[in-house]
Amino acid sequence: MKKQIVHSALLAALAMTGLYAEDASAYRGTQLRTLKKGVSAWNAWRASHPKARIDLSSATLAKMNLRGANLSGAKLTLADLRGADLRGANMKRAKLKHVRFQNARLDSANLSNADMWGAQLYKTSLKAATLHNTKMSHIWCERANFRGASLKGAQLTFIRCQKAIFVRADLRGAKIHFAKLQNANFSYADMSGVKPTKSNLTGARMYMVKRTSNTRTLKTGRVLRIGRMKRRNTGVLRIKRGRTLRAIRARQKASYNPRQLRLLRKGVNTWNAWRLKHPKVAINLAGANLSNMDLKYVKLQDANLKGANFNKTDLSYAKLQGANLTSARLVGTKLVNVRCQKTRFDGASLRGANMRFVRCHGASFVRADLRNAKLQFAKLHKTNLSYANMKGATRRFTKMQGAKTFRLIK
C-alpha cells in the first residue's frame, strides 16, 4: 500500500515538473494558457520550472506579442506563429518543424541549433538573428529578410528563398545545396567556406561578397544564369555561359577613393573647384554610396563609377562624358539635361529614372534596365541598346538615329 502511494506521488511530482505527463494534452493546455498570459508570466514560470519539457505542438499563436520570450528547447511542431512578434526571443534548440512564420518578426532572435525543417518563412523578418548550426532544410523563405543575420554552419538544403535578403549576413561554413535563390541579395555577405552545389542563383546580387578568408573581397554585379555552381581552384563561381564573376568585374578597382568621396560629400561647389585645380587626377568612386544626394551640375567626366549607388540622387545638368557607370544603381535618379556622351551604362539599373533632354551620343546601355524611364526629348544617337530593357519607358520625341537595338526589349 505504501509503495502504491509513493509511486502515485512520484508520478504527480514528475507531471508537475514536466518530466512525465500522465495527461499530455492537459499539460500542454496549461503551458499554452500560461504563455497567453504574457511574456513576463511565461518567463517567470520557465524560471521556476527550468527542467520542464515545453510542448506547444500545433498551438495557435498567430499575431501574439512574444517579444523576449524564453522558448529554448520548446517543441513547436506545426504551430501557427503567423504575424507574431518574436523579437529577441530565445529559441535555442527548439523543434520548429513545419512551423508557420509568415510575416512574423524574429529580429535579434536566437535560433541556434534549432530544427526548422519545412518551416514557412515567407516575408519573415530575421534581421540580426542568430542561426548558428540551425537545420533549415526544405524551408520556404521567399522574400524573407536575413539582413545582418549570423548563419554560420546553417544547413540550407532544398530551400526556396527567391528574392530573399542576405545583405551583410554571415554565412561562413553554411551548407547550401539544391537551393533556389533566384534574385536574392547577398551584397556584402561573408560566404567564406561556402560550397554551393546544384543551386539556382539566377539574377542574384553578389556585390562585394566575401568568398574565402584567404582572398580579397569580390566586387560583382548581378549573377547571370548560374546553373550548377562548382568550386574551382581560383575560388570563383563558374557561370553557365562560360564566364566567371572575376572575368565580369576584372577591370574594377579594389574600392573607391575615400578622400575623393569625402570631398564630394562636402558639396558640388567644393568638388567642382577641386576638379578645376586638378584636372588630370583620376576619379575613382567605384562602389560608393551616393544615394539621395543633391549633385546638380557636378563634374564627373571620365570618372570610374562602377557599381556606385545613385538611387534617388539629383544629377540634373551633370557632366558625365566618358564616365564608367557599369552596374551602377540609378533607380529613380534625376538625370535631366545630363551630358553623357560616350558614357558606359552597361548593366546599370535606371528604372524610373528621369532622363529628359539627356545628350548621350555614342553611350553604351548594353543589358541596362530602363524600365519606366522617362526619355522624352532624349538624344540617343549611335548608342548601343543591345539587350536593354525599355519596357514601359516613355520615349516621346526621343531621337535614336543610328542606335544599336539588337534584342531590345520594348
Per-residue pLDDT of the chain (410 residues; tens, 9 = 90+): 444 544 455 444 544 444 444 445 556 778 888 888 899 999 999 999 888 889 999 889 999 999 999 999 999 999 999 999 999 999 999 999 999 999 999 999 999 999 999 999 999 999 999 999 999 999 999 999 999 999 999 999 999 999 999 999 999 999 999 999 999 999 999 988 888 888 888 888 888 888 754 333 333 344 433 333 333 333 333 333 334 444 444 334 436 888 899 999 999 999 999 999 988 899 999 888 999 999 999 999 999 999 899 999 999 999 999 999 998 999 999 999 999 999 999 999 999 999 999 999 999 999 999 999 999 999 999 999 999 999 999 988 888 899 998 888 88
Closest to 363 in 3D by CA, of 390, 335, 344, 349? 344
Res 216: pLDDT: 36
If you count them, how many residues does the chain have?
410
Q: How far apart (Å, rounded) are the C-alpha atoms in residues 105 and 83?
A: 7
Q: How far apart (Å, rounded) are the C-alpha atoms in residues 189 and 207?
A: 9
Q: Which stretch of DSSP H or E encloses residue 259?
A: helix 258-265
- Show contacts of 220-223: CB within 8 Å, 24+ apart: 220/245, 220/248, 220/249, 221/248, 221/249, 221/307, 221/326, 221/327, 221/347, 222/327, 222/347
Closest to 380 in 3D by CA, of 352, 399, 397, 406? 399
3-state secondary structure of 379: strand
3-state secondary structure of 45: helix
Res 17: pLDDT: 46
3-state secondary structure of 105: strand
CB 367 within 8 A of CB 387: yes
Cα dihedral 224, 230, 234, 236 sign: positive
Buried b (16+ CB within 10 A) or exposed e, 277-295: eeeeeebbbbbbebbebeb
**CATH numbers and ranges of domains, the chain:** 251-410 (2.160.20.80)
**Rounded alpha-carbon distances, angstroms, from residue 369 to 81, 186, 328, 345:** 38, 20, 11, 9
CB 284 within 8 A of CB 253: yes
Res 27: pLDDT: 60
How many Cα atoms occupy the beta-carbon half-sphere of 145 within 13 Å? Answer: 13
Distance of CA 50 to the CA centre of its chain: 38
Q: How far apart (Å, rounded) are the C-alpha atoms in residues 176 and 196?
A: 5
Q: How many C-beta neighbours within 10 Å does residue 58 have?
A: 12
Query: Is the pTM for the entire model greater than 0.85?
Result: no
C-alpha cell at 58: 500545433
Res 197: pLDDT: 84
Res 127: pLDDT: 93
CB 323 within 8 A of CB 339: no
Closest to 404 in 3D by CA, of 390, 388, 391, 396? 388
Res 9: pLDDT: 52
Tell me, what DSSP letter sits at residue 247? H
Res 233: pLDDT: 32
Largest CA-CA distance found in the chain, in angstroms, rounded: 105
C-alpha cell at 406: 539588337
Q: What are phi and psi of 304, to 5 degrees?
A: -90, 105
Q: Which stretch of DSSP H or E encloses residue 177?
A: strand 175-177
